[in-house]
Amino acid sequence: MENSFPVALSRQQVLARQMDTIATNLANINTAGFKAEQMIFTEFLDRTGIADGQPLSMVHDVAFLRDMSEGPLHETGNPLDLAIHGDGFFVIETDNGPRYTRHGAFQLDNQGRIVTLEGRPVLNETDSPIFVPPDTSTITIARDGTVSADTQVIGKIQVVTFETPQLLSKEGNGLYDAGEQRPQPAGEAEIMQGMIETSNVQAVAEMTRMIKVLRSYQSAAQLAETEHQRIMSAIEAIIGRA
pTM: 0.77
SS (H, E, C) the chain: CCCHHHHHHHHHHHHHHHHHHHHHHHHCCCCCCCCCEEEEEEEEEEEEEEECCEEEEEEEEEEEEECCCCCCEEECCCCCEEEEECCCEEEEEECCEEEEECCCEEEECCCCEEEECCCCEEEECCCCECECCCCCCCEEECCCCEEEECCEEEEEECEEECCCHHHCEECCCCCEECCCCCCEECCCCEEEECEEECCCCCHHHHHHHHHHHHHHHHHHHHHHHHHHHHHHHHHHHHHHHC
Q: Enumerate the domain spans of the chain.
A: 4-68+201-241, 73-197
Q: How far is Cα 209 from Cα 241, in angstroms, rounded to an integer?
A: 48
Cβ-count burial of 37 within 10 angstroms (0-12 exposed, 13-18 middle, 19+ buried)?
middle
Q: Over its length of 242 residues, how does the chain's per-residue pLDDT go in tens digits?
A: 455 556 666 677 778 888 899 999 999 999 999 999 988 766 555 555 544 555 555 565 556 789 999 999 999 999 999 999 999 999 999 999 999 999 999 999 999 999 999 999 999 999 999 999 999 999 999 999 999 999 999 999 999 999 999 889 999 899 999 999 999 999 889 999 999 999 999 999 999 988 988 887 777 667 666 766 767 777 777 777 65
